[in-house]
Amino acid sequence: MILIGDKLIPFDKIYNISSIEEIKSTKANCIISFRYNEELLTYASQNDLNYAIIVDSIKEAIYANSLSAMYIICNKDLACSIQKIADNYMFDSKILALINSSEEIEEIAQNEIDGIIYKEVIN
C-alpha cells in the first residue's frame, strides 16, 4: 500500500501546480499534481513528466491512466469505483484515496485501494 504524506513514511515532495508556467519552474524529476485539466494533462503526458492528477469522475480517471499519470487521486467513495475498473483494465496508474488522518488507512486497505494521500499534501 502506498502512503503519501504520512509522518512515519518518507515520501517525495509533490508540487501542486495550476499552469504550464508553474510546471516549467519545478525541479527536474519531481512529481507534480493538479486538478483534472486537459491542457495540463496533455502537456504532462507529452513531456513524460511524473504527475498525479486529482479527478472527480471515472471518465477523468480513464483519461489520466491512458495519458500515463503516475497517481490518480480522488475521494474515498470514488476511489472504490475507480479501483475496480483499474484492476479490471490493469491500469498502470496507482489509485490514491484522499484522507484526513491515519484513522482512515484501515478502511482504505480493506477496500483494496492502491494507497492513500493526505489532503494537506495536495492543498
* Per-residue model confidence (pLDDT) at position 77: 96
Q: Give residue 90's domain range.
A: 2-122
CB proximity list for 83: less than 8 A, separation 6 or greater: 95, 111, 112, 113, 114
Q: Which residues pair with 35 in a beta bridge?
A: 54
Question: Over 90: is that where the pLDDT of 106 sits?
Answer: yes
User: Residues 4, 121: contact at Cβ < 8 Å?
Assistant: yes
What is the domain-level CATH number for residue 111?
3.20.20.70
* Per-residue model confidence (pLDDT) at position 27: 87
pLDDT tens digit string along 50-105? 999 999 999 999 999 999 999 999 999 999 999 999 999 999 999 999 999 999 99
Residue of 62, 2, 80 whose CA lies nearest to 14: 2
Q: How many domains does the chain have?
A: 1
Distances (CA, A) of 39 to 18, 35, 52, 102: 10, 11, 14, 34
* Per-residue model confidence (pLDDT) at position 69: 98
Q: How many CB atoms lie within 10 A of CB 35?
A: 15
Q: What is the C-alpha to C-alpha distance for residues 1 and 114, in angstroms, rounded to an integer?
A: 6
- Which phi and psi angles does 63 have, rounded to 5°? -60, -45
Query: Average pLDDT in the 26-48 region?
Result: 95
Q: Look-up: residue for cell 495550476?
A: 18
Q: Which residues pair with 15 in a beta bridge?
A: 32
